[in-house]
């Protein structure tokens, strides 16, 4: 079946790197996504990675995918207070119409 797991909280100091981890169970996932949710708002797509890639970099964001361990991570370099939000990992399984989300990781950035 499909299941996506994340830790619930992460606290970092401003300027440090943040690493948010996610594990998934369905090996047939075609795309994996990271979404960001700011307080009182909907989710916005932050970045994504295709399942045949190991790494994707986009400015301060680095996504690492370990297909063998079914592990996905999001690294945010030079974390700022504006990065404080909930981050959701999600997978899209080929042929499935229902995106599956993790429970979300609350990132707290303190001075």
Q: Are 92 and 24 in contact (CB under 8 A)?
A: no
Q: How far is the CB of 71 from other proteins (least distance, A)?
A: 18
Give, as ranges, the residues between 38 and 57 that touch other proteins (CB under 8 A).
40-45, 48
Give, as ranges, the residues between 77 and 96 that touch other proteins (CB under 8 A).
88, 90, 92
For every residue of the chain, DSSP letters joined together read: ---EEE-SEEEEETTS-EEEEEEE--TTEEEEEEEEE-TTS-EEEEEEEETT-SEEEETTEEEEEETTTTEEEEEESS--GGG-EEEEEEEEETT--S-EE---EEEEEE-
Q: How far is the CB of 78 from other proteins (least distance, A)?
A: 26
Q: How far is the CB of 83 from other proteins (least distance, A)?
A: 19
Whose Cβ is closer to other proteins: residue 1's or residue 111's? 1
Whose Cβ is closer to other proteins: residue 24's or residue 104's? 104
Tokens matching residue 40? 């009182």
Listed ranges 16-24, 59-67, 68-76, 101-109: which one lies at the site for other proteins (CB under 8 A): 101-109
Tokens matching residue 111? 């001075």
Task: Name the residues that contact other proteins, by CB under 8 A.
Answer: 8, 30-31, 33, 35, 40-45, 48, 88, 90, 92, 97-99, 101-104
């Amino acid at each position: 079946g499909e299941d996506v797991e994340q830790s619930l909280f992460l606290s970092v100091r401003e300027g440090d790197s943040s690493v948010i981890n996610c594990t998934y169970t369905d090996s047939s996932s075609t795309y994996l996504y990271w979404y960001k949710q700011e307080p009182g708002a909907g989710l916005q797509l932050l970045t994504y990675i295709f399942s045949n890639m190991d790494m994707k970099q986009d400015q301060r964001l680095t996504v690492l995918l370990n297909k063998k361990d079914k592990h996905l991570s999001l690294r945010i370099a030079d974390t700022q207070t504006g990065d404080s939000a909930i981050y959701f990992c999600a997978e899209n399984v080929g042929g499935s119409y229902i995106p599956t989300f993790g429970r979300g990781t609350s990132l707290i950035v303190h001075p």
